[in-house]
Structures are given as structure tokens and as C-alpha cells.
Amino acid sequence: MKRKETEAVLKEIKKQIEQFHMLERGDRILIGLSGGADSVCLTQVLFELSKEYNLHLGAVSCHHGLRGEEADEDVRFAENFCRERHICFYKTYEDIEVRALRDKISVEEAGREYRYEVFRRIMKEQGYNKLAVAHNADDRAETMLFHLTRGTGIAGLCTMEPVRDFFEGRKLIRPLLWQKKAEIEKWLQGKSVSWRVDRTNEEDNYTRNRIRHRVIPELSAINDRAVEHMGEAAEQIGEICSYLKEEEDSIFKKAAKKEKERLVISVPLLKEVHIYMKKAFLYRSLCELAESRKDITSGHVKILLDLVEGPTGREAHFMKGIRGRKEYDSVILCKDSREPVENMEKKSEDFFKRIELSMEKYPYTGQEISKNEYTKHFDCDKIQSKLCLRFWKEGDFFYLREDGGKKKLNRYFIDHKIPVDERDQILLLADGSHILWIVGHRISAYYKVTDSTKNILEVTIKNKG
């Protein structure tokens, strides 16, 4: 590549940088530098633009412990490359195979998690405000095809944004996103800049490598601008996704309510929502509780949609301990908190230690009865056994009226649309299976103080805090 050609390539990269506002004067930029052609090109480009933009550059090389001496050479090469250009250099090491086994994930995924952990740490410690990564046009096309084969929605096709939020106000930028791999290597050759070759990239052991070596060449044989067209499609889909995201945010704000470890979805508010937006909303709802978005499939969204449109009482279980339940006009998503019995007993014991229960018996002479929500009065002479403060169990009942109207407690919960997981948290004052007081709700009419009452039992419940 002649000098004019190399200058034209740099001019084209700069044009994209300016179009997407990737650089501002005085930026402190950390570069992910592996030593391969892409990252070397990125570092060289930013180095050549550093005076114009008054950039402070740093580069980090992450050793994955996978390729022995060859990987050691990559790090040494990157360090020398930065030294020659007076770029701050950082290097880190981790055995990625050990990490992958520990976390039960693929080596590829473990490597990516490791790199981005390192990027965040160094940026925070050293004050970098932007991370530059060397994804190119081929990478974007490969990722799009990878997502398609794995199974994805529209969001999975708007891959690799030129600029995106990274963390804590910092940005991630991709200045080479419009350059093909071959163009990058040709540009480096024209600049007499060398680079390292990772031989594992030539192997077909990984899905992405097979797409790179087999699928992309076949598509390019059909149309030599296939990669470029996929990039254009990704940008257009990205614009659509941006618009849809605004719509989704509006729906989510109205129809979802996050409460600690659970999410409550309003079913009526989803009725008139378009099916695509409804599915996008449900996917996001699962994301709120899932450990990773990668755990969520279109199958999970379909199950949740069936739950939303199904009858009250239906339940469903999702990935890694997330469950859902239809409760009248709501669907409740929560982390499955089922625990060993001994743990639940200990929690109940601790809970009751925080409750202060006081009882006082005295004659009733027609005096006024207080209406405090947590102080109740009962006809003491009607109590048949030793009173117990507990949670509900099968067979519990109370009376709606003094002359009868016996009602099962479970039926009361259903009629008053009390969610299942809340029923187990309602305190009860019980005389055997007969419930005197559903704390926070009502008392049994059978124990109500009347003109014929001779002795009152006054009960007060307080939270010790």
C-alpha cells in the first residue's frame, strides 16, 4: 500500500471517529492490545491522532495462560511496541482454563470476562475515561452470523455499536468497525508495522473460527461486499432497536414494579401492547432477575407469555432458580427461595424473636374498645385452648359473622387476591385451627366483643425492630 493509500485509510477511520464522536480533546484512552493486527492497527491509529486530539494513551495486554511461550512473546511484543511510542503499558496474567472450569463456562467466555474485568479495574485505578477495542467489519459480520445460528431476536443482530456506555460514565469505542481484516493488514504493511499471529485463530475448534474461515468466504464469493452489507444492516437494525428501546422503557416503567428479589408485572397494562413489544418487555423482565442475559432463551420468553395469558394460579420455572406465578391481574417473577427445612425453621425462629406479644385479661363493663390496628380485643371466655402466634396451615378457618359464615382461611386469601408468597408471611393468632386474628387484616366474628361479653382478652403485637 502506497503512502497516499495509507493516508486515505487513516482519513476514512478519522471520518468515522468524528461521525460518532468517539474522541474528544484530552481523552484518556485505554487500548486492549493483544499484539494481533487489529489491536496493533488501533494503537497505531490512536498514536498518530494523539497530538491532534491531545490524547493520553495506555494499553493493556491480558495473558490467558493458554499458549505458553508464544503468548509470552505476544506480551513482550506489545510492551516493546508501546515503549517505542511512549505509551503507558500494563500486563496481567490469569489461567483461563482454570477459570472456565471453576465458573463452568467456555474458555472463550472466561477469556472475555477476564479481559473486561481487567479493563474496568485499570480504567478505574488509572483514570481512563474511554476503552478502545479493535473489533473490525469482519468481527461484526461474524458476530451477527454467530447470533443467528445460536438463536437470537432483533437485538442480537444490531451487534457492536461504534460507541456505547461501558461503566460508571465511561465509554467503549470501536474506531475500526468499518475496516475489513485484509485492509487492516495491508495498511500495517504499508506503514512497515509488524504484528503477532495467534495460531489458534487459524484453527476451527471454535464456532467463530469456523464462521470466519468457512461461512464468510462463501458469502463473499456470492457478493464481495457481503461483510459491508451485513455491517450496514447491523447499523440500520441498531437504529430500529434504539427506537424500540424507548418504547420498551415506557412500557416497563408503567407495567413492571421491582420489589427486592421479585418483579411484579401488570397483566391489564400489557393487553393492548403489540406482540413484539410484549415479548421484548417480557425478555427484559427476565433479565432483571437472571444472573446473565445469556441464560435467557426465546423459549423462556414463550413460557412467560403463556403465563401472562394463562389462568390465575399457574406457575412456571425458568433458568437457575427463577420462577413465575399468575396472581389475578399480575404475574410475579421471583428468585426461587426454597430452602432446606432447617433453614426455614431457623428463619421463622429469628422472625418471632423480633415480635413482642402482650396479652391482658380484664372484665368487660361496656367500656369503649380501641381501634388500634395492632391491638385487638376478644371475648376471652370463648377461647378453647392455648393461643398460638404462627403462620397459616391447611385447615385454618375463621367466622365472617357471629351467627355462622365459617370460612376457610385459604379461601379468604384467594377472594382477597393475596399473592401466594405473601400468605406465608401473614401472622395469625390461633385457637387451634380457629383463627382469632389475621394480623393486619381482620378478626374472627366468633370472638368479637359483644354486649354479652364478660371478660376481654386484649392482645397487642409490636415489632421490636
pLDDT at 340: 39
User: What is the pLDDT confidence band of residue 344, given thresholds at 50, 70 and 90?
Assistant: very low
Out of 28-37, 151-160, 190-199, 391-400, the most confident range is 28-37
User: What is the pLDDT confidence band of residue 105, given thresholds at 50, 70 and 90?
Assistant: confident
Return the minimum-mean-pLDDT range out of 3-12, 207-216, 339-348.
339-348
Return the minimum-mean-pLDDT range out of 7-21, 207-221, 327-341, 414-428.
327-341
pLDDT at 338: 47
Last residue of a domain, one of 310, 335, 360: 335
What mean pLDDT is reported for the chain? 87
The answer to whether residue 265 scores a pLDDT higher than 60 is yes
Range of the domain at 365: 341-463
Supply angle C-alpha 222, 8, 32, rounded to 5.
Answer: 80
In a domain, 246, yes or no: no
Contacts 24+ apart (CB under 8 A), 163-170: 163/20, 163/21, 163/22, 166/120, 166/123, 166/130, 166/131, 167/120, 168/124, 169/129, 170/123, 170/128, 170/129, 170/130, 170/131
pLDDT at 205: 66
- The answer on 103 and 172 residing in a single domain is yes
β-bridge mates for residue 431, sequence order: 434
- The answer on 410 and 318 residing in a single domain is no
Report, as an integer, the average pLDDT of 309-332.
Answer: 82
Dump pLDDT digits (tens) for 285-295.
988 888 777 77
What percent of the chain shows pLDDT beyond 90? 51
User: What is the pLDDT confidence band of residue 55, given thresholds at 50, 70 and 90?
Assistant: very high
The answer to whether residue 352 scores a pLDDT higher than 70 is no
Per the structure, the count of domains in the chain is: 3
Tell me how crowded residue 132 is: count the other CB atoms within 10 A of its CB.
28
Report, as an integer, the average pLDDT of 416-423.
Answer: 79
- The answer on 355 and 294 residing in a single domain is no
Out of 42-51, 92-101, 385-394, the most confident range is 42-51
- The answer on 208 and 134 residing in a single domain is yes
Choose between 149 and 87: higher pLDDT.
87
pLDDT at 450: 92
- The answer on 399 and 268 residing in a single domain is no
pLDDT at 339: 41
- The answer on 38 and 145 residing in a single domain is yes
Q: Residue 386's closest CA among 436, 455, 452, 441? A: 436
Residue 295's domain is classified under what CATH number? 3.30.465.60
What is the three-class DSSP state of 226?
A: helix
The answer to whether residue 195 scores a pLDDT higher than 50 is yes
- The answer on 316 and 211 residing in a single domain is no
- The answer on 212 and 177 residing in a single domain is yes
Dump pLDDT digits (tens) for 106-122.
888 899 999 999 999 99
What is the three-class DSSP state of 104?
A: coil
- The answer on 311 and 218 residing in a single domain is no
Complete edge-to-edge strand list for the sheet that includes strand 455-463: 355-363, 455-463, 375-379
In a domain, 237, yes or no: no
- The answer on 210 and 101 residing in a single domain is yes
